[in-house]
Amino acid sequence: MSGAAGGFFLAAAGLGSPPHNVTMKIAAVQMVSTPEWSSNRDAAARLVAEAAAAGAGLVQLPEYFCTMGRRDTDKLALAEAAGDGPIQRFLADTAREHAIWLVGGTLPVQTGAGGPGQGPVLNRCCVYGPDGAEAAHYDKVHLFAFDNGRESYDEGRTLCAGSQPVALQAGPLRVGLSICYDLRFPELYRALMTPPCDVICVPAAFTYTTGQAHWELLLRARAVENQCYVLAAAQGGIHPNGRRTWGHSMVIDPWGVVVDELAEGEGFVIAEVDPVRLAQVRMQLPALAHRRL
Angle value at C-alpha 57, between 93 and 53, nearest 5 degrees: 80
Let me know if 75 is a catalytic residue: no
Give the mean pLDDT of the chain. Answer: 92
On the question of pLDDT at 288 being above 50, the answer is: yes
Domain boundaries of the chain, sorted by first residue: 23-285
Mean pLDDT over residues 63-85, rounded? 94
> How much is the pTM?
0.92
First-to-final CA distance of the chain: 28
Catalytic residue among 66, 140, 264, 266: 140
Let me know if 160 is a catalytic residue: no
Mean pLDDT over residues 69-94, rounded? 95
Residue 56 has φ and ψ, to the nearest 5°, of -70, 130
Let me know if 264 is a catalytic residue: no
Mean pLDDT over residues 33-45, rounded? 97
Confidence of residue 8 (pLDDT cuts 50, 70, 90): very low
On the question of pLDDT at 113 being above 70, the answer is: no
What is the pLDDT at residue 293? 86
CATH code of the domain occupying 23-285? 3.60.110.10
Mean pLDDT over residues 154-172, rounded? 96
Catalytic residue among 66, 125, 180, 228: 180
